């Protein structure tokens, strides 16, 4: 896989999330970035408009990443310019449950290699249905 700026930024994002390194995760984003994970309404984003800007992204981190143990399993990666799409699934362990979110996970970076958009295409109902007690 190419060591392109978008690939490196995506890898840094995942590594910081797994390591629970909030500051490293936030430092990887541009100031006006948006996180949509999942895209559309969810319990993290009832209006479905995404989390825009570092303050909102920090709140998302506290709600979604901080209390979770994450495992990223991407089977395919497609790079196009300053964007990358990863096909696979994320295993999320929190509050005694394990959930699998299958989908497409995308990153877009700016010219400085900072993430401008992290978007996750996964279906909330299917992920919820996968929940099992651990």
Q: Are 124 and 38 in contact (CB under 8 A)?
A: yes
Host domain of residue 16:
5-133
**Does the reported pTM lie above 0.85?**
yes
Q: Which CATH number do you get for residue 21?
A: 3.10.450.50
| Look-up of token digits 């303050």 | 55
What confidence tier does 1 reach under pLDDT thresholds 50, 70, 90? low
Beta strands in 5-133 (DSSP E): 29-36, 51-52, 69-80, 83-94, 97-109, 115-122, 132-133
Residues 44-66 pLDDT 10s: 999 999 999 999 999 999 999 99
Rounded percentage of the chain residues whose pLDDT exceeds 70: 99
Q: What is the mean pLDDT of residues 6-32?
A: 98
In the chain, the number of structural domains is: 1
């Amino acid at each position: 896989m190419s060591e392109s700026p978008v690939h490196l930024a995506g890898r840094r994002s995942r590594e910081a999330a797994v390591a629970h390194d909030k500051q490293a995760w936030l430092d990887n984003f541009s100031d006006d970035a948006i996180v949509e994970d999942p895209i559309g309404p969810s319990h993290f984003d009832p209006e479905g408009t995404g989390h825009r800007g570092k303050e909102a992204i920090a709140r998302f981190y506290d709600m979604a990443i901080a209390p979770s143990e994450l495992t990223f399993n991407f089977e395919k990666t497609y790079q196009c310019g300053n964007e990358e799409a990863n096909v696979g699934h994320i295993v999320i362990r929190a509050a005694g449950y394990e959930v699998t979110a299958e989908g497409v996970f995308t990153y877009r970076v700016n010219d400085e290699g900072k993430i401008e958009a992290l978007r996750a295409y996964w279906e909330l109902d299917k992920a919820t249905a996968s929940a099992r007690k651990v």
